[in-house]
Structure 1
Amino acid sequence: MKARVHIMLKNGVLDPQGEAVRHALGSLGFDGVEGVRQGKVIELDLAEPDASKAEAQVTEMCERLLANTVIESYRVEMI
Protein backbone atom coordinates (compact mmCIF):
# COMPACT_ATOMS: atom_id res chain seq x y z
CA MET A 1 0.00 0.00 0.00
CA LYS A 2 1.20 3.51 -0.75
CA ALA A 3 0.57 6.75 1.08
CA ARG A 4 1.27 10.30 -0.02
CA VAL A 5 1.67 13.04 2.57
CA HIS A 6 1.26 16.69 1.55
CA ILE A 7 2.91 19.10 4.00
CA MET A 8 2.49 22.89 3.86
CA LEU A 9 3.27 25.77 6.16
CA LYS A 10 0.19 26.95 8.02
CA ASN A 11 -1.43 30.23 6.97
CA GLY A 12 0.25 33.15 8.68
CA VAL A 13 3.67 31.46 8.82
CA LEU A 14 6.26 33.27 6.71
CA ASP A 15 7.36 31.27 3.65
CA PRO A 16 10.71 32.70 2.48
CA GLN A 17 11.16 29.96 -0.16
CA GLY A 18 7.72 30.66 -1.58
CA GLU A 19 8.48 34.39 -1.66
CA ALA A 20 11.77 33.73 -3.47
CA VAL A 21 9.93 31.65 -6.08
CA ARG A 22 7.30 34.39 -6.51
CA HIS A 23 10.03 36.99 -7.00
CA ALA A 24 11.88 34.77 -9.50
CA LEU A 25 8.69 34.18 -11.48
CA GLY A 26 8.16 37.95 -11.67
CA SER A 27 11.74 38.35 -12.93
CA LEU A 28 10.94 35.83 -15.67
CA GLY A 29 7.95 37.86 -16.81
CA PHE A 30 5.18 36.02 -14.95
CA ASP A 31 3.69 39.18 -13.43
CA GLY A 32 0.29 37.77 -12.41
CA VAL A 33 1.60 35.60 -9.55
CA GLU A 34 0.57 37.28 -6.30
CA GLY A 35 1.66 34.59 -3.87
CA VAL A 36 3.48 31.28 -3.67
CA ARG A 37 3.45 28.74 -0.83
CA GLN A 38 6.02 25.99 -1.07
CA GLY A 39 5.56 22.63 0.59
CA LYS A 40 6.72 19.07 0.33
CA VAL A 41 5.29 15.73 -0.70
CA ILE A 42 6.43 12.45 0.86
CA GLU A 43 5.49 9.07 -0.62
CA LEU A 44 5.65 6.00 1.57
CA ASP A 45 5.51 2.33 0.56
CA LEU A 46 3.87 0.47 3.43
CA ALA A 47 3.73 -3.24 4.24
CA GLU A 48 0.40 -2.85 6.09
CA PRO A 49 -2.39 -4.26 3.87
CA ASP A 50 -5.28 -2.72 5.86
CA ALA A 51 -5.98 0.81 4.57
CA SER A 52 -7.34 2.20 7.84
CA LYS A 53 -4.42 0.82 9.88
CA ALA A 54 -1.94 2.11 7.30
CA GLU A 55 -3.51 5.57 7.39
CA ALA A 56 -3.36 5.59 11.20
CA GLN A 57 0.34 4.66 11.04
CA VAL A 58 1.08 7.44 8.56
CA THR A 59 -0.82 9.95 10.69
CA GLU A 60 1.30 8.96 13.68
CA MET A 61 4.45 9.31 11.53
CA CYS A 62 3.37 12.83 10.61
CA GLU A 63 2.64 13.79 14.20
CA ARG A 64 5.94 12.40 15.49
CA LEU A 65 8.42 13.12 12.69
CA LEU A 66 7.34 14.09 9.18
CA ALA A 67 5.56 17.37 9.93
CA ASN A 68 6.33 20.12 12.40
CA THR A 69 2.73 20.50 13.54
CA VAL A 70 3.46 23.82 15.25
CA ILE A 71 4.00 25.55 11.89
CA GLU A 72 2.94 22.96 9.29
CA SER A 73 -0.28 21.25 8.34
CA TYR A 74 -0.45 17.92 6.54
CA ARG A 75 -2.86 15.80 4.56
CA VAL A 76 -2.57 12.02 4.17
CA GLU A 77 -3.67 10.48 0.88
CA MET A 78 -3.83 6.69 0.53
CA ILE A 79 -3.04 5.68 -3.06
Structure 2
Amino acid sequence: MDFAKLYRPTRFNSWQFIAFTGLIMSGGAELILRFLVARPLPVGYGWLYVCWAALFVVGSLVNLFGKPASAGHHHH
Protein backbone atom coordinates (compact mmCIF):
# COMPACT_ATOMS: atom_id res chain seq x y z
CA MET A 1 0.00 0.00 0.00
CA ASP A 2 1.42 3.35 -1.05
CA PHE A 3 0.78 5.85 1.76
CA ALA A 4 2.32 8.66 -0.30
CA LYS A 5 -1.13 8.87 -1.91
CA LEU A 6 -2.33 10.42 1.36
CA TYR A 7 0.15 13.26 1.73
CA ARG A 8 1.89 13.92 -1.61
CA PRO A 9 -0.25 16.18 -3.83
CA THR A 10 1.31 14.75 -7.00
CA ARG A 11 -0.16 11.35 -6.04
CA PHE A 12 -3.69 12.62 -5.23
CA ASN A 13 -6.66 11.60 -7.30
CA SER A 14 -9.11 14.27 -8.45
CA TRP A 15 -11.34 13.95 -5.35
CA GLN A 16 -8.39 14.46 -3.03
CA PHE A 17 -7.07 17.36 -5.09
CA ILE A 18 -10.44 19.13 -5.07
CA ALA A 19 -10.75 18.65 -1.30
CA PHE A 20 -7.17 19.81 -0.69
CA THR A 21 -7.71 22.92 -2.82
CA GLY A 22 -11.02 23.59 -1.08
CA LEU A 23 -9.37 23.40 2.34
CA ILE A 24 -6.66 25.85 1.31
CA MET A 25 -9.11 28.27 -0.33
CA SER A 26 -11.55 28.12 2.60
CA GLY A 27 -8.71 28.77 5.03
CA GLY A 28 -7.51 31.71 2.95
CA ALA A 29 -11.03 33.14 2.75
CA GLU A 30 -11.39 32.79 6.52
CA LEU A 31 -8.14 34.66 7.10
CA ILE A 32 -9.25 37.44 4.76
CA LEU A 33 -12.65 37.72 6.43
CA ARG A 34 -11.20 37.71 9.95
CA PHE A 35 -8.19 39.98 9.56
CA LEU A 36 -8.43 42.10 6.41
CA VAL A 37 -12.14 42.77 6.16
CA ALA A 38 -12.84 42.38 9.90
CA ARG A 39 -16.22 40.77 9.32
CA PRO A 40 -17.73 37.89 11.24
CA LEU A 41 -17.75 34.54 9.49
CA PRO A 42 -21.08 33.40 8.05
CA VAL A 43 -23.07 31.02 10.21
CA GLY A 44 -22.02 27.45 9.53
CA TYR A 45 -18.73 28.37 7.86
CA GLY A 46 -16.93 25.69 9.86
CA TRP A 47 -18.99 23.01 8.13
CA LEU A 48 -17.00 23.72 4.96
CA TYR A 49 -13.97 22.15 6.60
CA VAL A 50 -15.99 19.08 7.59
CA CYS A 51 -17.23 18.67 4.00
CA TRP A 52 -13.73 19.09 2.52
CA ALA A 53 -12.30 16.60 5.03
CA ALA A 54 -15.04 14.06 4.26
CA LEU A 55 -14.41 14.43 0.53
CA PHE A 56 -10.68 13.95 1.13
CA VAL A 57 -11.32 10.78 3.16
CA VAL A 58 -13.57 9.33 0.45
CA GLY A 59 -11.01 10.22 -2.22
CA SER A 60 -8.24 8.67 -0.14
CA LEU A 61 -10.15 5.42 0.24
CA VAL A 62 -10.76 5.29 -3.50
CA ASN A 63 -7.10 6.09 -4.17
CA LEU A 64 -5.76 3.48 -1.74
CA PHE A 65 -8.18 0.61 -2.28
CA GLY A 66 -9.57 1.24 -5.75
CA LYS A 67 -8.46 -0.90 -8.63
CA PRO A 68 -6.09 0.81 -11.04
CA ALA A 69 -7.63 1.81 -14.34
CA SER A 70 -7.26 -0.87 -16.96
CA ALA A 71 -5.17 -0.11 -20.00
CA GLY A 72 -8.27 -0.40 -22.14
CA HIS A 73 -8.28 -0.71 -25.89
CA HIS A 74 -5.39 1.24 -27.33
CA HIS A 75 -4.14 1.44 -30.89
CA HIS A 76 -0.54 2.25 -31.73
TM-score of the superposed pair, with normalisation by structure 2:
0.30
Structure richer in helix, relative to its length: 2
Greater RCO structure (CA 8 Å; 6+ sep): 1
Question: So what's the TM-score if we normalise by structure 1?
Answer: 0.29
